[in-house]
Amino acid sequence: MKATGIVRRIDDLGRVVIPKEIRRTMRIREGDPLEIYTDRNGEVIFKKYSPMGDLNTFVSQLCDSVSKTIGTSCVICDRDSVIAVSGTAKKDVYERSISAELERAMEQRQIIRPTDTPICLTDDDRYRVSIAAPVIAGGDVSGCVALLRDEQHPTVGEVESKLLQTAATFLSQQMTM
């Protein structure tokens, strides 16, 4: 494990402050859930918790189904990274961090239809989102279901939009069960 050189003390209520630099680097925001556990060496480990990550197999199957139905690449993201991919982009984007612009777009809590300025899926500009539906569970944005821009299918219609909304709503319901 890499040492950061930052030391924090636990207060009388058992709290410790995670330094701003680490929160920024790890994209930890106020209210984000953290999983806390120990390893065999006695180290305490804080890990960002992704409720969508608990649905891993299910999320992959949903992503595959949407991709096969529409005939273009589909991705499902949590608030930080791509957790499922189906189609040609799989090896390039799986488990990569999402772009800050996609993260901001998800926070708008509505269907994302980039028109003038395309939204990149990740920071490398290689894949662009053609449409995305946010997954909102328990009142919080947990991620999104998105289609990637495809030269063979340049336009996205109402059917694709409704399918993504349905997939996002279904995921939301699975997370609150």
pTM reported for the whole predicted model: 0.76
38 Cβ contact list (under 8 Å, min separation 6): 44, 45
The whole-number pLDDT of residue 153 equals: 58
Encoded tokens for 164: 């993504």
Q: What is the CATH number of domain 52-175?
A: 3.30.450.40
The whole-number pLDDT of residue 154 equals: 62
Q: Are the C-beta atoms of residues 16 and 8 closer than 8 Å to each other?
A: yes
Q: What is the CATH number of domain 1-49?
A: 2.10.260.10
Give the Cα separation of 158 and 36 in Å (integer): 43
76 Cβ contact list (under 8 Å, min separation 6): 52, 59, 62, 63, 82, 83, 84, 85, 135, 143, 144, 145, 146, 171
Residue ranges covered by each domain of the chain: 1-49, 52-175
Q: Indicate if the pLDDT at residue 177 is higher than 70.
A: no
Mean confidence (pLDDT) of the chain: 86
- DSSP three-state, residue 1: coil
Q: Are the C-beta atoms of residues 37 and 45 closer than 8 Å to each other?
A: yes
Q: Indicate if the pLDDT at residue 7 is higher than 60.
A: yes
Q: Are the C-beta atoms of residues 160 and 149 closer than 8 Å to each other?
A: no
pLDDT confidence band for 167 (50 / 70 / 90) = very high
Q: Are the C-beta atoms of residues 134 and 141 closer than 8 Å to each other?
A: yes
The whole-number pLDDT of residue 134 equals: 95
Q: Indicate if the pLDDT at residue 150 is higher than 80.
A: no
pLDDT confidence band for 152 (50 / 70 / 90) = low
Residue with tokens 């003390």: 9
| Angle between helical axes of 56-70 and 158-175 (0-180°, round to 10) | 170
Encoded tokens for 79: 């608030």
25 Cβ contact list (under 8 Å, min separation 6): none
Exposed, middle or buried, 141 (CB in 10 Å: 0-12/13-18/19+)?
middle
